[in-house]
């Protein structure tokens, strides 16, 4: 047990980075130090127009106290909210603040997480990128392993450990992008389901990543279909209005015809001296008034037809803009996947080179296990937690590795180095596969 936290064993633990990250949860709550992107807009059924409000949106950082301040909406205490709950809270606040009632829509999504900080008895203390599911042991691996006072830890093995951890982080990011790519492809094809990419079928967190993308797709499709339904409803109303205006125009035409017939009869009687001129003038004014009313109905019908055509154009623009956005996101995701693939190849090559240069890890004797302390920002201030190897960290956590008592009895010895590090057996001839687990 005393050798359990020796750097070489931490290296073996680092081989399981990301593969043991199955504790991450879908729809996890928002946390301090995350950056969120907020989009706000409103559909006006009277003006028949959707208006985006970019001045009320943008990217915002959740403070260490768990609060985020947004334009007009004010300061919101996250307090374990999910993205959907925060979106609903923003929309409700804006509706109440601006007196707009229903129709305000808001969407909040996580853009980036805050780092985790590893300090104390580690080789490379500092801030490291956080990924969901990161454990205390994996964070120590990213920081180069524990810094044991009676251990001579060679630089090549330290580099191999760092490259291994970096590879795992890149692999998880690649898996996330593959899940996103599958979702975008399904949206573009308007498929009812998202196919599981083969690379994610047996990958750690594969199911969780796909479940998250399915939720995103469901929310986006619901908003898209809602917009299309609103267009369809407005078009139906306009067609009904045009039909009623046509009926009114027919009635008005018959009224004008009757009035003209009566006017002709009155004019004939006036010419024969059998009727007064005032009656003829009255009928002429009636005909003129009916003509004016018919022109008003025709103008209203033309306006309704024009608005109907505009709605068709707006609906086509909505469909086109959505498709263009999906195509652009697909292109960006593919480029990012290629970029990460190049980085993974580079890290894999560096890892193989570090293994070839390794000479082993020399220890002067066991010194016990270090203590892991996690400082986490709580609702009432910082909280100190005693952690274990598999303790899941959160963005913003400070992991302190407290070395064991270095005054313990020391016994000279040598810590054996696993064969995969080059201390025993032949060195690898090719770049090793970093996608396996520690058990491999």
Query: In the numeric block, which tokens belong to residue 93?
Result: 């606040």
CATH 3.30.1950.10 domain residues, the chain: 34-112
Query: In the numeric block, which tokens belong to residue 359?
Result: 């000479």
- Asked whether residue 240 carries a pLDDT value surpassing 90, the answer given is yes
When pLDDT is cut at 50, 70 and 90, the band that residue 421 belongs to is very low
Mean pLDDT of 23-30: 55
Region label for 273, one of left (φ > 0), alpha (ψ between -120 and 50) or beta (otherwise): left
The pLDDT value recorded for residue 438 is 36
C-alpha 304/C-alpha 45 separation (Å) is: 15
Mean pLDDT of the chain: 77
The pLDDT value recorded for residue 302 is 93
Q: Dump pLDDT digits (tens) for 296-345.
A: 999 999 999 999 999 899 989 999 998 999 999 999 999 999 999 998 88
> Under DSSP, is residue 144 helix (H, G, I), strand (E, B) or coil?
coil
Mean pLDDT of 249-258: 90
The pLDDT value recorded for residue 10 is 39
- With b for 16 or more beta-carbon neighbours within 10 A and e for fewer, the 208-228 pattern comes to bbbbbbbbbbeeeeeeeeebe
CATH class of 159-357: mainly alpha
The residue that leads in pLDDT, 16 or 337, is: 337
> Which range scores top for mean pLDDT: 5-9, 15-19, 94-98?
94-98
Positive or negative CA dihedral for 264, 268, 274, 275? Answer: positive
Q: What share of the chain is helix, strand, coil (3-state, %, to 5)?
A: 50, 15, 30
C-alpha 282/C-alpha 153 separation (Å) is: 112
When pLDDT is cut at 50, 70 and 90, the band that residue 248 belongs to is very high
CATH 1.10.287 domain residues, the chain: 159-357
* The CATH number of the domain covering residues in 34-112: 3.30.1950.10
Q: Dump pLDDT digits (tens) for 163-218.
A: 788 888 898 899 999 999 999 999 888 888 898 998 888 888 888 899 999 999 88
Phi, psi of 82 (to 5 degrees): -90, 175
Q: What is the pTM of this model?
A: 0.41
Pick from 49-53, 102-106, 426-430: least confident = 426-430
C-alpha 350/C-alpha 417 separation (Å) is: 19
When pLDDT is cut at 50, 70 and 90, the band that residue 106 belongs to is confident
- Within 358-389, residue ranges assigned H as helices are none
Mean pLDDT of 89-117: 82
C-alpha 222/C-alpha 385 separation (Å) is: 42
> Under DSSP, is residue 384 helix (H, G, I), strand (E, B) or coil?
strand
The pLDDT value recorded for residue 101 is 66
Continuous segment of H or E residues that includes residue 279: helix 277-357
The pLDDT value recorded for residue 309 is 93
When pLDDT is cut at 50, 70 and 90, the band that residue 117 belongs to is very high
């Amino acid at each position: 047990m005393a050798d359990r936290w020796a750097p070489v064993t931490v290296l073996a633990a680092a081989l399981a980075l990301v593969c043991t990250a199955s504790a991450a949860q879908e729809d996890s709550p928002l946390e301090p130090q995350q950056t969120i992107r907020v989009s706000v807009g409103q559909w006006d059924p009277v003006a028949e127009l959707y208006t985006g409000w970019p001045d009320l949106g943008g990217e915002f950082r959740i403070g260490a106290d768990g609060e985020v301040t947004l334009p007009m909406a004010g300061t919101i205490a996250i307090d374990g909210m999910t993205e959907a709950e925060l979106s609903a809270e923003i929309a409700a606040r804006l509706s109440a603040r601006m007196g707009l009632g229903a129709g305000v829509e808001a969407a909040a999504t996580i853009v980036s997480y805050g780092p985790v900080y590893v300090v104390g008895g580690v080789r490379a203390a500092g801030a490291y990128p956080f990924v969901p599911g990161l454990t205390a042991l994996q964070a120590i691996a990213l920081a180069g392993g524990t810094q044991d006072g009676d251990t001579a830890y060679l630089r090549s093995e330290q580099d191999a450990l760092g490259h291994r951890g970096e590879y795992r982080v890149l692999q998880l990011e690649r898996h996330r992008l593959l899940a996103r790519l599958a979702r975008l492809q399904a949206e573009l094809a308007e498929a009812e389901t998202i196919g599981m990419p083969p690379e994610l079928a047996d990958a750690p967190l594969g199911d969780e990543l796909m479940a998250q993308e399915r939720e995103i797709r469901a929310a986006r499709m619901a908003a898209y279909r809602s917009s299309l339904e609103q267009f369809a409803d407005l078009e139906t109303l306009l067609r009904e209005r045009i039909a009623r205006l046509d009926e009114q125009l027919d009635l008005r035409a018959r009224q004008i015809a009757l009035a003209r017939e009566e006017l002709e009869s009155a004019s004939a009687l006036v010419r024969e001296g059998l009727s007064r001129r005032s009656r003829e003038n009255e009928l002429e004014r009636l005909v003129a008034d009916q003509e004016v009313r018919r022109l008003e109905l025709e103008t209203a019908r033309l306006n309704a037809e024009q608005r109907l055509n505009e709605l068709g154009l707006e609906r086509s623009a909505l469909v086109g803009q959505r498709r263009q956005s999906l195509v652009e996101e697909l292109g960006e995701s593919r480029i990012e996947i290629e970029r990460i693939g190049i980085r993974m190849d580079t890290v894999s090559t560096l890892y193989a080179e570090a293994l070839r240069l390794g000479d082993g890890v020399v220890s002067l004797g066991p010194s016990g296990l270090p203590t892991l302390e996690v400082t986490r920002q709580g609702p009432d201030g910082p909280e100190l937690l005693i952690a274990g190897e598999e303790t899941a960290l959160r963005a913003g956590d400070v992991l302190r590795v407290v070395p064991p008592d270095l005054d313990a009895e020391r016994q000279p010895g040598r810590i054996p180095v696993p064969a995969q590090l080059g201390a025993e057996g032949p060195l690898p001839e090719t770049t090793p596969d970093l996608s396996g687990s520690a058990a491999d």
